[in-house]
Amino acid sequence: MGPPGRWRRRGEIATILQMSGIRDDVMAIWLSWLSALTNYLFTLLGVWLVERVGRRRLTLGSLMGTCVSLVLLGVAFLLSAQHTPPVTFHPSDPALANSTCLQYKVCEQCMLDPGCGFCYQDNSSALFASSCVPASAASTEQAAWGSCSNSSRGREPTYWAYNYCPNPYSGLVLVGLLLYLAAFAPGMGPMPWTINSEIYPLWARGTGNACAAGVNWSFNVLVSLTFLHTAQHLTYYGVFFLYAGAAALGVVFVYAVVPETKGRRLEEVEALFEGRLCSCGATESDEGRQVEYIRVKGSNYHLSDNDASDVD
């Protein structure tokens, strides 16, 4: 599983791009295809590197890159929040007297309320006549009241932003998202499946892989279901910093307990887990050491360096 969940589906990537301030839905969809292409190409890179670099190093590098890219995404959304446009128009219609949307002073606060949206006008140099109003109960694509509602749309050039705030940092979010996919795809994408297929003993391999796959997809669903709710409570930048912290914990875990399995027989891999849990002190020579076996009188015999000269 990816530390902050795996944003591979184009709909999820398009949502994050729209959250960054990309107003055009069509542009967000096309940029999501660029993200999908990045994911595909770097997955092929991971297939090429797995036997050259090794599972452990590739996973550690992927997690570190994932952590850095998530921090970059958090910084991009933090900058967006700090430069969020203010609410300059406060409707006085009696029908909106009980709406919480009128309490918000800036767009960022308005966005974190799922019942509100940001209505504004743009003359290409500045925003004006911006307001936070309730979203329509029938569709969040329009406001329930005002110039961004269905009945008033078209009378003046207005824009309705339900899940984003206009800001100049959408390009930085796109860079962070592409870096995330470029770091995640070659390592944390295929490596958990590769390592899981090697570390279990034969008697537990089927059960172990089934449990790992179940946990993986359970957390994928959990992240997908809680992402917007978590962003609502922690802000958009807060949730990405939270995911970066989870990735950092993953780096510590992999460095401490995940051994290198490149070039090892299944018997050797199983023997790696007979000693201490922490493998962080393993030397490079230990990781590259090969164990040889010979057949002696119908049983397996470990060929050590001392008695190798005694074998014909």
Count of other CB atoms within 10 angstroms of residue 298 = 5
Mean predicted confidence (pLDDT) in 84-89: 89
Say what the pLDDT of residue 99 is. Answer: 83
Say what the pLDDT of residue 287 is. Answer: 47
Say what the pLDDT of residue 2 is. Answer: 43
* Burial group, residue 253, by CB count within 10 angstroms (0-12, 13-18, 19+): exposed
Q: Quote the tokens at residue 231.
A: 């962003």
Contact 60, 254 (CB under 8 A): yes
Say what the pLDDT of residue 243 is. Answer: 94
User: Which amino acid appears at position 4 of this protein?
Assistant: P
pTM for this predicted structure: 0.74
Say what the pLDDT of residue 214 is. Answer: 93
pLDDT value at 27 more than 50: yes
Count of other CB atoms within 10 angstroms of residue 99 = 18
Mean predicted confidence (pLDDT) in 266-293: 58
- When comparing pLDDT for 54 and 6, which is higher? 54
* Burial group, residue 21, by CB count within 10 angstroms (0-12, 13-18, 19+): buried
User: Which amino acid appears at position 144 of this protein?
Assistant: A
pLDDT value at 1 more than 90: no
User: Which amino acid appears at position 209 of this protein?
Assistant: N
pLDDT value at 303 more than 70: no
* Burial group, residue 180, by CB count within 10 angstroms (0-12, 13-18, 19+): buried
CA 215 to chain centre: 17
Say what the pLDDT of residue 279 is. Answer: 53
Say what the pLDDT of residue 299 is. Answer: 45
Mean predicted confidence (pLDDT) in 93-101: 76
Say what the pLDDT of residue 4 is. Answer: 41
Partner residues linked to 122 by β-bridges: 127
pLDDT in tens, 111-128: 888 889 999 888 777 788
pLDDT in tens, 125-156: 778 889 999 998 888 888 888 888 865 554 55
- Confidence label for 309 from pLDDT (cuts 50, 70 and 90): very low
